[in-house]
Amino acid sequence: MKKSLAILAVFFALSISAGAENGFMFVRTLRGNAEISAQNAKLKTGDVAVAKNAEISVKDGGFASVALSNYSSCMVLSGKVSIGNFGQEKVQTASLPLHSEMASSNIEFAIEEGEAVFARGEFRPASSFKIKTKFGTIEPVGNNIKIKIGGSTLSACAYDAAIRYSKPDSDEQEYIPIGYELVCSIENGKLKTEKKQTSISQKAKLKSDASSASDAFKNTEFYCDKNGKISARRIAFKEFFIRMRDPIR
């Protein structure tokens, strides 16, 4: 039975990569000293582009956020984030009430330095969502994760969600449970990792950051015109109008 499941998992992974479409991104926000480029072009707020090999750079108090066509998003507070591979079985061009994927996807980010928050909706079992760093690869088990890298240290934590972590050049994964953050440091050329319990103030900030990042994909709709061109636009869901009418909720 285990062998059959392993074969099935490999089949799903191959089927995504073999017939994958390029995933798209929508530039939600560019503020201050922030820049996004993709496909050898500099993008502005409201632009849509193939996300593969895109770069998001933020300096000196700037801010940038993008929504992606698999119900996910990235909010960069500082530093540089790039998107490597991003393939989908089918680019999602319809909104679902539960903000869940219609087809499987594989996406891979990389963060060199700085701080970023990643969020996603309900993913399909065959999908993967990875963030590469010099300290190793990080995967959110839930729907959000915040990563901060400064020099020889990294911290990664999520609001009400767990994390999977693997060291560089290793497939062995370590599980970081809910309520803990992953802390990595390089001391005398050696990688050191530990789990630390998140504080109440950290949890409050994580909740706020995760909500802001999630809004980027929840309030974005990708659509396909009659000529097959992928476009995107900001939308406002019913919950937005409820909050405007009744701010206490």
DSSP letter at 218 equals H
Cα-Cα-Cα-Cα torsion 93, 109, 158, 44, nearest 10 degrees, comes to -60
Instruction: Kindly state the average pLDDT of the residues 70-78.
Output: 95
Q: Has residue 44 been placed in a domain?
A: yes
pLDDT in tens, 86-126: 999 877 776 555 577 888 999 999 999 999 999 999 888 89
* 3-state secondary structure at position 9: helix
Mean pLDDT within 44-69: 96
pTM of the model: 0.85
* 249 in a structural domain: no
Domain assignment present for residue 150? The answer is yes
Percentage of the chain with pLDDT > 70? 85
Distances (CA, A) of 173 to 2, 40, 76, 140, 227: 19, 35, 26, 12, 44
Predicted confidence at residue 41, as pLDDT, reads 95
Q: Mind listing the pLDDT tens digit for each residue in 199-225? A: 999 999 999 999 999 999 999 988 888
Confidence of residue 171 (pLDDT cuts 50, 70, 90): confident
Model pLDDT, residue 237? 59
The C-alpha atoms of residue 41 and residue 43 are separated, in whole angstroms, by 6
- Residue 236's pLDDT band, with cuts at 50, 70 and 90, is confident
Comparing CA positions, the residue from 82, 85, 77 lying closest to residue 106 is 85
CATH number of the domain that residue 83 is part of: 2.60.120.1440
Domain count, the chain: 1
For residue 12, pLDDT beyond 90: no
Please check whether residue 243 lies inside any domain of the structure: no
pLDDT at 20 (0 to 100): 59
Please say if the pLDDT value at position 249 is more than 80.
no
Query: What amino acid occupies position 89?
Result: E
Residue 94: the pLDDT is 66
* Residue 154 belongs to domain spanning: 2-218
Structural domain includes residue 130: yes
Give yes or no for residue 22 having a pLDDT over 60.
yes
Residue 213 lies in a domain: yes
Given a contact cutoff of 8 angstroms between Cβ atoms, the answer to whether 179 and 157 are in contact is no
d(CA 227, CA 212): 33
Say what the pLDDT of residue 227 is.
84
Q: What pairs with residue 183 in β-bridges? A: 155, 194
Q: Binning pLDDT at 50, 70 and 90, where does residue 1 land? A: very low
Residue 244 placed within a domain: no
Q: What pLDDT is stored for residue 144 in this prediction? A: 95
Neighbours of 181 (CB within 10 A): 20
What is the 8-class DSSP label of residue 100?
B
* pLDDT confidence band for 247 (50 / 70 / 90): very low
pLDDT of residue 19 exceeding 80: no
- Residue 230 falls inside a structural domain: no
Task: Please determine, for residue 51, whether its predicted confidence score (pLDDT) is greater than 60.
Answer: yes
